[in-house]
Structure 1
Amino acid sequence: MKTILHLIDTTGPGGAETVFINLLKELQHTEFRNVVVLRGEGWVADQVRSIGITPRFIDSKGSFNLGYIKALRQLVNHDDVDLIHAHLLGSNVYGALLALICRKPMIATFHGAVDVAAGERFLRAKFSIIGWGASAIVCVSKRLQEELAARSSLPARKINLIYNGVDPNLFCEAPASGLKEELGLPPAATVVVSIGNIRPAKGYEHLVNAAIKMARLDPGVHFVVVGHQRASLFKQLETQIARAEEPPNIHWLGFRADVADILRQADIFLLPSVSEGFSISTVEAMMAGVPIIATRSGGPEEILSDGETGLLIPTKDPDAIVSAVERLKDPALSNKVIEKARQNALERFSLGSMLQAYHGLYERFIRR
């Protein structure tokens, strides 16, 4: 049995972390043995345990933590690791260094623009290490692939495109209920759901402005936001809301474990991002049968076809959000995009397709 060592930077919930867990879950049913190293306890650790893997914990604070590398090297030797698979910039750097030291094949997965942020310390050196040590570099969207090619020295021959996958079985059940009752909304309310942690790239300030405009135009529309609330940014959003002449209909739910149930109760899904590598929540909405509004922020243009599988709008444009919500109240348009989007998601973005692509890389480099 071949052993894969899996590394990821973060410990809390998010899109990349969900993909990480879903990939591990699928790999548990293959011939590979999976070893997972995390930086600490948290949501990711809990999810790893839930699929039958006991995570190992090694602290990796600092830009180049030699103690972390030493501990990983001991683990690679002790567990007879055959291949290293890392996710996000920090883990990609350490995984590549480890691969060079231990002479093991290594796959580095980049999940979004945050992985190539210009303000990142030692970015050129980090890309050089990944370029040397990684056997394959995976991008989750063509846009991200183009950004990496333009802003880094990573060898083009090593870069692969693998779209993130979603498990369609999560959305096969009958629509859930209870959300409108929980929020105290009337049955006739239109619920517009957004999913994603509150951070600058998600563009929630534009959602707030849209909700302020919508409160005057159509008070029956309610915006629901699901995701961790970073205190400083959330405070700015609250200040923005407090300044409004008329309070907008926004419900901040924070982190929720029942995202699939919430999506199945949405009337519309909204992605207001200003930058997006690949939006896993947009694909989930497609599979849940929810009509989608998404900004042209990178990844969505590869996922959706405007007017066919969803509505694509400009970034930073609250008026466009309001207009798109009004358009999707038309049942003819809504039903058309729902059916086409679901079929498209099953064909292009299923968990099985993602697993098959990674499985092919694992086999290719382990054999070599």
Structure 2
Amino acid sequence: MKEYSQATVLHLIDTTGPGGAETVFINLLRHFQKAGQRNLVILRGEGWVADKVREVGIEPHIIDSKGSFNLNYINVLRRFVSQERVGLIHGHLLGSNVYGALLALICRKPMIATFHGAVDVAAKERFLRTKFFCIGRGASKIICVSKRLQQELTDRSTLPESKLKLIYNGVDPDLFSGSSDKNLKAELGLDQDSILTVSVGNIRPAKGYEYLVDAAIEMATVEPKMHFVVVGHQRKGLFEKLQKRAESSAKGVPNIHWLGFREDIRDILRQADAFVLPSVSEGFSISTVEAMMAGTPIVATRSGGPEEIVDDHQTGMLVPVRDPAAISAALMELRNQKVRETITRCAAEVAREKFGLSRMLREYESLYRELLGNQSYDEKCRT
């Protein structure tokens, strides 16, 4: 049996593509790997997450886990925990939280379950009560990334309130300082006096992009220089419906550009004149915080998490969900230079203080130390 001078942490996550939860996952890995902790990662397939894990300096273990309560997968994880002498398990999103909690019960290990949004508590999820029961029993701490999500878990599950803990997702403000040396307007073939309104997020129902399309249709006649840019993976069926919605408008085709997935989000945000989050349900929007740090004024829906990030008319504009007219009105209000300057200055200060990456890392670091106890947790992890 190998002997290690440091505690070993096993990291699990449901998904393989890019997104907010995945970015937090990678940021945590990068921090603890740099600090000298021994980290092991199990993923369910290749993709963006696997590539980023390798960039951190960790070779992920790829193990398929199709289906609910996959007993073979649990058995493989159990052997892995034993052989690698894992001291702590950290899961992200519902599926990995369930497996991590079961593993913690079987192997008698401490476990952290991080929930990232309303999708984790969707009523249509199969065996949801059973999954919550497993997590409630096996997890040592259950992390919620917003107060709204914490309240939903309290109201809709049997998870012990004593185990619930709020840790906001964090963003590195240094990545969004300064100006971009790229020219998105030129890339899109637009005049330099065009107005860029950017939305960031994978195309899925909860993101409410149909209401963004309707707002873009309205703005095409009110402010024809305004162009809407959408960045994020495009789920084929829904994306085609959105395209059809835009192209079939009786008011004319809106100025909307679908960029798909991009790695240069920070450059795009630093060039944007406004940022719009049209979600109908949102746990915690990392892209909204990134826009605040980039100095881009925000229009966000009252969809859950954004109300904890944005103070209406102080650090951004909050509008009702499913209300394209409200989005349009808020964007027009942000055309006022004085309003823009006041909001962006205040937003940047709040984002750095409340949602900075260093704060998130300190809170997780403290939790790791608490749960690992005397398991030789390396003091180099303190920053």
TM-score (norm: length of structure 2): 0.95
2:358 corresponds, among 326, 348, 352, to 352
| Corresponding residue of 1:299 | 305
Displacement of 1:172 after TM fit?
2.1
Q: Which runs of 4+ in 1 moved over 6 A?
A: none
* Cα deviation digits, residues 28-62 of structure 1 (max 9, x gap): 22242111110010000000001111111111001
Bigger Cα displacement from structure 2, 119-128 vs 70-79: 70-79
- 1:291–1:328 contact (8 Å) kept in structure 2: yes
| Corresponding residue of 1:341 | 347
| Corresponding residue of 1:252 | 258
| Corresponding residue of 1:264 | 270
| Corresponding residue of 1:285 | 291
Question: 2:351 is matched by which residue type in structure 1?
Answer: A
Displacement of 1:176 after TM fit?
3.4
1:316 corresponds, among 314, 317, 322, to 322
Provide the C-alpha distance between the structure 2 equivalents of 1:279 and 1:189, rounded to a whole number of angstroms: 26
1:97 corresponds, among 94, 97, 102, to 102
- 1:2–1:31 contact (8 Å) kept in structure 2: no
- Partner SS, residue 100 of structure 2: helix
Bigger Cα displacement from structure 2, 66-75 vs 199-208: 66-75
Provide the C-alpha distance between the structure 2 equivalents of 1:185 and 1:273, rounded to a whole number of angstroms: 27
| Corresponding residue of 1:65 | 70
Provide the C-alpha distance between the structure 2 equivalents of 1:102 and 1:174, rounded to a whole number of angstroms: 50
Matched, 1:156 2:161: yes
Question: 1:307 is matched by which residue type in structure 2?
Answer: H
Alignment of 1:146-225 (within 5 A): 146-225=151-230
| Corresponding residue of 2:377 | none
Which residues of structure 1 form unaligned runs of 5+?
Answer: none
Q: Structure 1 vs Structure 2: percent identity of aligned residues? A: 64
Provide the C-alpha distance between the structure 2 equivalents of 1:275 and 1:67, rounded to a whole number of angstroms: 34
- Partner SS, residue 213 of structure 1: helix
| Corresponding residue of 1:8 | 13
- 1:176–1:262 contact (8 Å) kept in structure 2: no
| Corresponding residue of 1:117 | 122
* Cα deviation digits, residues 109-167 of structure 1 (max 9, x gap): 00000000000000000000000000000000000000000000000000000000011
Question: 2:218 is matched by which residue type in structure 1?
Answer: K
* Cα deviation digits, residues 181-229 of structure 1 (max 9, x gap): 0101111111000000000000000000000010111110000000000
Displacement of 1:25 after TM fit?
1.0
Size of the aligned set, in residue pairs, is: 368
2:241 corresponds, among 236, 259, 268, to 236
Question: 2:157 is matched by which residue type in structure 1?
Answer: S
Question: 1:217 is matched by which residue type in structure 2?
Answer: V
- 1:15–1:279 contact (8 Å) kept in structure 2: yes
- Partner SS, residue 126 of structure 1: helix
2:93 corresponds, among 84, 88, 97, to 88
- Partner SS, residue 28 of structure 1: helix
